[in-house]
Homo-oligomer: A and B are copies of this chain.
Amino acid sequence: MDIPATAAALKNGERRALARAITLVESCRADHRQQALELIDALGSDRQALRIGLSGTPGVGKSTFIETFGLFLTGQGLRVAVLAVDPSSARSGGSILGDKTRMEHLSRDPNAFIRPSPSQAQMGGVARRTREAVALCEAAGFDVVLIETVGVGQSETMVAEMCDIFTLLLAPAGGDELQGVKRGIMEIADLILVNKADGDLKPPATRTCADYAGALRLLRKRPQDPSDFPKAMTVSAYEGAGVEQAWNEMCALAEWRKENGHFAGRRAEQARYWFHEEVRLQLLERLSADAALSAQLAKAEAALSRGEITPASAAAQVLDGFMAG
């Protein structure tokens, strides 16, 4: 790939260049990885989008919300990128965003860019790919980058560590189902949106929202928030109700944090977090790429299968050689 040309096309907002660049950062090949690093370095970081994380379990209406919310944003003249993080996609072939028809209108909007989750076995790889894809979308001049995830395992924490505002989409529920939301998620959510506040579900949605608002008030205040955040609201992705208000709340929160230094502070903290993750990930990559090590591993495996050594002692011996070499 011609890195300077791709960088220029991408900064010019060319969608095909962006798509190709994301494919590059998704690749596991060592030469692609090198090119990906060069490309990201070449793009710089002078452009900034608002990064919004959106989590919600299957069935809460995530696709419909993204479609409605995305079209609202493009209607305001904003350019929107949607990236998906689906930790299960490696096995199941992807349960979210596997199909662009999921967001039929948004996917045809010239000011929107939708990218499904790639098949990746490793959580570290998924995180890196998504983080770098966010950087690419920013460099391509998108105003809003929406990072979608299903509320499973570590993926929510991962998305929270790469967005400016973390939003949790929920369905109306009985009060006793409140406990179903993992406590850790309540702690990291900036905005809780109770969806499906339309038709018969409007009363339970309103009640659920009040329950969450009450639960949020019990949480410790965070210094990076204005006094009325985190907040719970109702929306109807289907009817569009509440979507503009939700956007206004996100903007108000981002503005407040920018004025108080918390916006840049959060990004700096996230950079540190990902730096440490990268150190771990790259160390393991170097380990698997080390040729001399492979011979050592084979030798140790033979001793192991003869029962001459324990796995822990064998590992210590091999690493002594790796670090010395």
What's the dominant secondary structure at chain A's contact region? helix
Check A311 for interface membership: any CB of B closer than 8 A: yes
Q: Is the CB–CB distance between A280 and B286 below 8 Å?
A: no
Binary flags per residue of A111-132, CB closer than 8 Å to B gives 1, else 0: 0000000000000000010011
Per the bound structure, the CA–CA distance linking A108 and B304 in Å amounts to 37
- A153 — nearest CB in chain B belongs to which residue? B153
Check A323 for interface membership: any CB of B closer than 8 A: yes
Per the bound structure, the CA–CA distance linking A279 and B293 in Å amounts to 11
Number of copies of this chain in the oligomer?
Answer: 2
Per the bound structure, the CA–CA distance linking A314 and B271 in Å amounts to 10
- A293 — nearest CB in chain B belongs to which residue? B279
Known contacts: A310-B40, A313-B37, A313-B41. The answer to whether A275 contacts B287 by CB under 8 A is no
- A275 — nearest CB in chain B belongs to which residue? B311
Question: Which of A268, A275, A304, A315 gathers the greatest number of chain B CB atoms within 10 Å?
Answer: A275
Check A221 for interface membership: any CB of B closer than 8 A: no
Binary flags per residue of A274-289, CB closer than 8 Å to B gives 1, else 0: 1111111111101100
Give A contacts to B, CB under 8 Å: 37, 40-41, 45, 91, 128, 131-132, 135, 153, 184, 268, 271-272, 274-284, 286-287, 297, 300-301, 304-305, 307, 310-316, 318-319, 322-323
- 23 pairs, A vs B, C-beta closer than 8 Å: A37-B310, A41-B313, A132-B312, A268-B304, A272-B304, A272-B311, A275-B301, A275-B304, A275-B311, A275-B314, A276-B297, A278-B314, A278-B315, A278-B316, A279-B287, A279-B297, A279-B318, A280-B284, A280-B287, A283-B283, A283-B284, A283-B287, A283-B319
